[in-house]
Chain A
Amino acid sequence: MFETRNTAVRVKEMMVERLLQFCSLLSVFTTMAIIYILMSETWGFFQKVSLWEFLTDTQWTPLFTIKHFGIMPLLCGTMLTTVIALMVAVPTGLISAVYLSEYASASVRKIVKPILEVLAAVPTVVYGYFALLFVTPVLKKIFPDISGFNSLSAGLVMGIMIIPLVSSLSEDAMHAVPMRLREGAYAVGSQKIQVAFNIVLPAALSGISAAIILAVSRAIGETMIVAIAAGQQPHLTLNPLVPIETISAYIVQISLGDTPHGTLEYKTIFVCGMTLFMMTFFLNMMSFKLRKRFQEVYD
């Protein structure tokens, strides 16, 4: 009475499942392809240039006659813009998150959150334009000797772009903190600000850390803003007013020229890509683990 009536249905079920499984495997293939492509060219690069030189040389001049392949100037540029961006995004994002989670009414939150997300949706090339042609001229009034290309304006604008990443994820984390923790504090007569900073922030700390780490990862990988506004001169400097070059901007710079396939210069973009990939991979993993842990605590 309960035997299968229709083997065709059963076969179809199985085929559908296999097909869907294949789709999910595509993400694994993508990661493998990224690693393989980066590895193979990086390998070729390190046949010619020693890892020691790559890590310790203080100059990056692959396009000059006297070539130097020290990643430090590029790394320094990346760090500089990243730190500036975080100095904007982390305080603004966190304060917004505390406000939205603890002070704002549900209806305000419902309206403001998606509008904030729009900040992250604006194409980065637009931010690049804005940094170069609006923010830098404004900064020139404050710092008269600022260069046309500088890490300050690129970093500031990048920080604005990253605000929603910090605020949205942190707000989710604070929102997930159980009401009973807050009630305990309110019951003894605490003000909102005390509850927010003494109870909610510590309880949501791992979720907030995950958000900030993700923001770091995002800032390190951000390309167009720095390629347009921060310059193309790999300087080992911490001065935010002079042109620098980030790892990502260097990749764009080489891609725009016609560097012949297979040359050492060509391989440098893969080395830079590998460096970016490893840094962001490490940060993303940390963020993911923290988020997982946070979810487990409050689920």
Chain B
Amino acid sequence: MIKILDRIFKYIGIGAVLLGLIVLAVLVLDVVRDGFPRLTWDFFTSYPSSKPEQAGILSAWVGTLWIMLTTAALTIPLGIGAAIYLEEYAPKNRWTDFIEINIANLAGVPSVVYGILGLGLFVRALHMDRSVLAGSCTLALLVLPIVILSTREALRAVPSSIREAAYAVGATRWQAISGQVLPAAFGNILTGIILAMSRAIGETAPLVTLGALTYIPFLPTPPVSVSPSFPYVNFSLKGLLDPFTVLPIQIFNWVSRPQKGFLICAAAGIIVLLIITLCLNGAAIYLRHKHQKNW
């Protein structure tokens, strides 16, 4: 009797595992069916439009690229730095415990609350307006706990014998960390960063809360431009202060429209967004698998 129950439970278990995967498959099929025909070259090179058949995601994917790069530039050094401090330097005391609890809590704060933080802090108090910079600062704070927690785990996985070996040849603490511990943990740190970036790319709510406009028929000032006169090539960071839109916001905007044509645009945009996130996650899984070392 109990044996039969055991067998039955096993199949229920397989069913439970498969449930999520089946839903995911249905979701992908549904979106591809709706949106695939809309995925033309023009879709990538057109600005949003009031006519669904002319609308495109040019400003959205360029904005996503801007946001992704600036968020990465902000969050990677800060997150890795914090993780190194907590894992390798911080004394074991109440203050450190407090920081740890604080980070664990920040990891669970709803993303829309980060949007409110960005609105109050970056948009209003620091007068960044609804710029690329305000958006990426907000997202950087949002994914910072993810980077910190995964980097700490990566550092913890480096055996202490590596640190001892470095100390034994006269390394200072920073020399041991920068020369041996960080390179040894590199693969796992990278995995965490990729996952954090994947999260940042998909976030909608905090940027909506910031007030990131949804109709943006222009691009941020390009960082590099060519001119016919001296100095021929211009570098500019002015784009950081320009308004922007990103893929998820564009999709949200289209989903909220009643016309069928915009829903098709949304589906097409979702295909692009899904490809990006699934690629990033695939890369992360591959990296984690590859760097599972046995010391």
Query: Per the CB under 8 Å rule, do A and B touch in the complex?
Result: yes
How many A residues have CB within 8 A of the partner chain? 88
A125 to B255, CA, bound (A): 9
Q: State whether A95 touches B16 (Cβ < 8 A).
A: yes
Are B117's CB and A30's CB within 8 A?
Answer: yes
Contact residues of A between 90 and 120, Cβ < 8 Å to B: 91-93, 95-96, 98-100, 103-104, 112, 114-119
Contacts A121-B199, A121-B281, A123-B273; is A130 near B116 (CB within 8 Å)? no
Given contact pairs A27-B103, A129-B270, A218-B108, A134 touches B12 in the complex (Cβ within 8 A): no
Proximity bits, A1-41, B CB within 8 Å = 1, else 0 = 00000000100110011011111111110110110011001
Chain B residues contacting A192 (CB-CB under 8 Å) are 6, 9-10
Docked Cα-Cα span, A20 to B205, in Å, equals: 31
Within 179-207 of B, Cβ neighbours of A (below 8 Å) are at 195, 198-199, 201-205
Kindly state whether residue B251 has any CB partner on chain A within 8 Å. yes
CB distance from B4 to the nearest CB of A (A): 10
Interface-lining segment among A48-56, A67-75, A177-185, A268-276: A268-276
Interface of A is mostly: helix
Separation of A222 and B174 alpha carbons in the complex (Å): 41
Tell me, yes or no, whether A241 is within 8 Å of chain B by CB: no
Chain A proximity mask over B257-271: 1 for CB below 8 Å, otherwise 0 = 000000100110010
Secondary structure type dominating chain B contacts:
helix
Docked complex: A247-295 residues within 8 A CB-CB of B: 248, 251-252, 255-256, 261, 269-270, 273, 276-277, 280-281, 283-285, 287-288
Which residues on A sit within 8 Å (CB–CB) of B119? 255
CB neighbours of B5 from chain A (8 A): 191, 193
- Whether B86 contacts A24 by the Cβ 8 Å rule is yes
Q: In the complex, what distance in Å separates the CA atom of A248 from the CA atom of B115?
A: 11
Whether A13 and B173, one on each chain, are in contact in the complex, defined by CB atoms closer than 8 angstroms, is yes
* Minimum CB–CB distance for B8 against chain A, Å: 9
CB-based contact B85/A21 at 8 Å: yes
Contacts of A31 in B (CB 8 A): 102, 105-106
Whether B82 pairs with A26 at a CB distance below 8 angstroms is: yes
CB nearest to A132 among chain B residues: B255
Known: A121-B277, A288-B105. A248 touches B205 (CB 8 A): yes
Contact present for A26 and B78 (CB under 8 Å): yes
Residue of A41, A100, A119, A252 touching B209 (CB-CB under 8 A): A252
Q: List B contacts of A23 (CB < 8 A).
A: 77-82, 84-85
How far apart sit A24 and B80, CA to CA, in the bound complex (Å)?
A: 9
Most buried by B among A96, A112, A126, A280: A126
Asked whether B65 is an interface residue with its Cβ less than 8 Å from the other chain, the reply is no
| Contact residue among B13, B78, B115, B273 (Cβ-Cβ distance under 8 Å from A251) | B115
Q: What residue of chain A has the Cβ atom nearest to residue B198's Cβ?
A: A121
Looking at the assembled complex, report how far the CB atom of B89 sits from the nearest CB atom of chain A, in whole angstroms.
6
Stretch of A57-65, A199-207, A223-231 contacting B (4+ beta carbons < 8 Å): A223-231
- Check if A270 sits within 8 Å of B116, measured CB to CB: yes
A163 B20 Cβ-Cβ under 8 A: yes
Chain B nearest CB, measured from A206 CB (Å): 16
Residues A193 and B256 in contact, CB atoms below 8 Å apart: no
CB-CB < 8 A to A20: which residues of B? 81-82, 84-85, 89
Nearest B-chain residue to A190, judged by Cβ: B2
Q: CB distance B117 to A21 under 8 Å?
A: no
B142's nearest neighbour on chain A, judged by CB, is A30
B115 in contact with A255 (CB, 8 Å): yes
- Smallest Cβ distance from B254 to chain A, in angstroms? 9
A118 B24 Cβ-Cβ under 8 A: yes
- Which of B24, B30, B288 has the most chain A CB atoms inside 10 A of its CB? B24
Measured CB to CB, the closest approach of chain A to B175, in angstroms, equals 8
Is there an interface contact between A128 and B252, defined as CB atoms closer than 8 Å? yes
Residues of B within 8 A of A93 (CB): 16
For A26, the closest partner residue in chain B by CB is B78
Is A124 interfacial (CB 8 A cutoff)? Answer: yes
A124 and B202 form a contact (CB under 8 A): yes
Q: Is A123's CB under 8 angstroms from B277's CB?
A: yes
Q: Is A164 an interface residue (CB 8 A)?
A: yes
| Nearest CB in chain B: distance from A147 CB, A | 15
Q: Report the separation of the CA atoms of residues A194 and B79 in the bound assembly, to the nearest whole angstrom.
A: 44
- Residue of chain B at shortest CB distance from A110: B289
* Complex: A134 Cα to B23 Cα, angstroms: 11
**Assuming the A-B contacts A24-B85, A117-B281, A121-B198, are A228 and B270 also in contact, with contact meaning beta carbons closer than 8 angstroms in the complex?**
no
A-B pairs with beta carbons under 8 Å apart, 15 shown? A19-B81, A21-B85, A23-B79, A27-B106, A28-B99, A92-B16, A96-B20, A99-B16, A100-B13, A128-B255, A133-B263, A222-B110, A273-B112, A283-B108, A285-B105
Q: Residues on B close to A: CB < 8 A?
A: 2-3, 5-6, 9-10, 12-14, 16-17, 19-21, 23-24, 26-27, 30-31, 34, 77-82, 84-86, 89-90, 98-99, 101-117, 119-121, 124, 141, 144-145, 148, 172-174, 195, 198-199, 201-205, 208-211, 214, 248, 251-252, 255-256, 263, 266-267, 270, 273-274, 277-278, 281, 285, 288
